[in-house]
Amino acid sequence: MQEIQQKIDSEISKIKNEFSNENILIQIQKIKYSNNIDYQIDISFPNNKNDEDYDFTLEINVNEEKIRLFSKTIPSLSDGRDILFILNNNIVNNNNTSNNNNNENYFITSKTFFSEFKLNPIILSLKKLISSLNKIDNRFAKFYLDEQYDLNLINSLNYIKKYKLRKIETINNRKIEIPILLTISDEYFCIYEPINKNKNKLLLIFYSSLRTLISFKKSLYGNIITLFWITNVKNINHEIKLISINDSVSNKIVDDLIEKIKKIGFKMDITKHKEGKLPEININKTLKEILQFETQMKYSGNILIFNKLLSNYEKAVEYFSAINDKRYEMYTEKIKQLLSNEKYSKFIDT
């Protein structure tokens, strides 16, 4: 194990010197736990082709002798995607590959890396990939709010979950429904609006990490899905209601969100209820505990009480929203106030 670490450390020193004069930023972090040491190498290509920034991360698991290379440009159409397959596939399909440069023919796998400990081919392969991208078909460039994007490109990527929905907005005291496209990638969800009836052009109006979701629910009556998410560690100020065309689409969205959240290892309490059945929540007990924990938080709050209070608030939101009782709005606001209170910020960061 120590010998492997020494070889990796030596290779890291080499690439830092080799690429020091190029427009490539390389940052290395050692992650120590128990008797193991893992590596996280961030590789960035700032202001590269098309004036875009491209960020990638190489994770090296020394104990299991595995590597993972993934896109870290956020949000993009490939955030969180493992791209070793893409790099290796480019080598196979490149008929103009020069035999004079072995790096271009180097297959990047966990096995080859731990047998030879070469980092140079990985960076050169990423550099070559970026140089092949163009503005129209760019899966790795960062997306920006209020910019236009091509629907055909989004539809061409089968690992992006896509849903044509409508969102509810209140304008001049009138509720209106606006068509939108919801996409779910490995790390982010994005919301787009069509542009002036142009079906192939979309405007990105919002994006956020799946890790910011604090809850999402499907109405028991109708096809409404509500997402609640936090924009930073101290404030929740986003809630959106989305309407699907039918119940099966709503269920599919919930299932896809659960699948993605589990995949990234993010912990969230997930409770699925049968259509027409109320959540199995003892609301009287929940409301009694809310009063109890609110009082305790005022005088001697700790992380345990904080989490219990937050959990009960979420139960109240779930219950009252399921029976179309507007009290769910009151408890949603209580969640916002709790998480935005400077006094309790230390509990959120824990």
Q: How confident is the model at residue 49 (pLDDT cuts 50, 70, 90)?
A: low
Domain 143-276 - what CATH class? Answer: mainly beta
pLDDT of residue 276: 45
* 344 vs 253: CA distance, rounded Å: 33
Helix (H, G, I), strand (E, B) or coil at 72: coil
Counted residue by residue, the chain has a size of 350
**Region 278-293 average pLDDT:** 85
The counts of H helices and E strands in the chain are: 10, 12
Residue for token pair 């709005």: 329
Rank 49-53, 75-79, 296-300 by mean pLDDT and report only the highest.
296-300
pLDDT, one tens digit per residue, over 13-28 is 888 788 877 778 888 8
Helix (H, G, I), strand (E, B) or coil at 99: coil
With a threshold of 0.85, does the pTM exceed it?
Answer: no
* 350 vs 348: CA distance, rounded Å: 5
> Would you list the DSSP string of 154-209?
HHH-TTSEEEEEEEEEEETTEEEEEEEEEEE-SSEEEEEEEETTEEEEEEEEEEEE
Helix (H, G, I), strand (E, B) or coil at 33: strand
Report yes or no: 55 and 141 within 8 Å, Cβ to Cβ.
no
pLDDT, one tens digit per residue, over 290-342 is 999 998 888 877 888 888 888 888 888 878 877 767 788 788 888 878 877 77
> Residue 95 burial (CB < 10 Å; 0-12/13-18/19+)?
exposed
**Domain ranges for the chain:** 2-132, 143-276, 278-350
User: Does residue 98 have a pLDDT over 70?
Assistant: no
pLDDT, one tens digit per residue, over 134-147 is 554 566 667 778 88
User: Does residue 97 have a pLDDT over 50?
Assistant: no
Radius of gyration of the chain (CA): 24
Query: Shortest CA distance to 135 belongs to which of 49, 46, 242?
Result: 49
Pairing outcome for strands 224-229 and 66-71: unpaired
> Residue 80 burial (CB < 10 Å; 0-12/13-18/19+)?
buried
Bond before 75 cis per omega within 30 degrees? yes
* 331 vs 317: CA distance, rounded Å: 6
* 263 vs 193: CA distance, rounded Å: 28
DSSP letter for 71, please: E
